[in-house]
Each structure stands twice: as C-alpha cells, then as structure tokens.
Amino acid sequence: GQQLNQSPQSMFIQEGEDVSMNCTSSSIFNTWLWYKQDPGEGPVLLIALYKAGELTSNGRLTAQFGITRKDSFLNISASIPSDVGIYFCAGLNNNNDMRFGAGTRLTVKP
C-alpha cells in the first residue's frame, strides 16, 4: 500500500526547545492527521487537516497540510516533559484508506 515517510525516527531534546517533524508521501491524501501515543496507551488524535495549505494550531502544536497534498508537518513549541511519546502522522485518501507513518519517538530532557 501507500507508504508514508515520517522523519525523524527519534528526537532527544531539552525542555523548552521547539520540535519539528514531517511526513511525506508519493501519493496524494485528502486528510492529514497527527496522533500522539503515550507509553502504554493507544494513539490519540491531536490535529486533523482537511484542506491543502491549511495551517491549524492546538495549543503549542501547529500542523500544516502541504500544498501538494503529499506532505504535512507538525511543530511543537516550548516542549515540556509530558510531550514525551510517539507521534504518528496519518493520511486518508479518497478511498477512505488510512495510512500511518512509522512514528517519531520524542524524548524531552528536563
């Protein structure tokens, strides 16, 4: 199936730093979503993007739906220890197929 390339695989940052991660695909998606998975839990939806070029914020999180519809990025500003977890991008195409990236594991050092 379609693959989403998510990078970086992992990040080790200091508390207070900003974080940026992205997802790219060779195929077009109609919806991009970003999830966060806390240790031992299932992924939880953070942000959903429905239109090319859309920029959406949720607190310290900002995500954008790329103009080409083949990419998306997520920024976290002023990271805090509870930001630790795995962040997944997901794309939904017009056949209602959802594809996930492999995840970005974020570690925040106090």
Partner 1 sequence: DVKVTQSSRYLVKRTGEKVFLECVQDMDHENMFWYRQDPGLGLRLIYFSYDVKMKEKGDIPEGYSVSREKKERFSLILESASTNQTSMYLCASSEGGVGYGYTFGSGTRLTVV
Question: Which spans of this chain sit near partner 1 (rule: CB under 8 A)?
Answer: 1, 6, 9, 30-31, 33, 35, 40-45, 48, 50, 88, 90, 92, 94, 96, 98, 100-103
Nearer Cβ to partner 1 (3/17) = 3
The nearest distance, CB 100 to partner 1, in angstroms, is 4
Residue 103 backbone dihedrals phi, psi, to 5 degrees:
100, 150
Within 13 Å, how many C-alpha atoms sit on residue 82's CB side?
A: 1
Nearer Cβ to partner 1 (14/94) = 94
Residue identified by tokens 């974020």 is: 106
Residue 83 backbone dihedrals phi, psi, to 5 degrees:
-75, -10
The nearest distance, CB 17 to partner 1, in angstroms, is 25
What letter does residue 83 receive in the DSSP assignment?
Answer: G
- Distance between CA atoms of residues 87 and 79, nearest Å: 14
Nearer Cβ to partner 1 (44/80) = 44
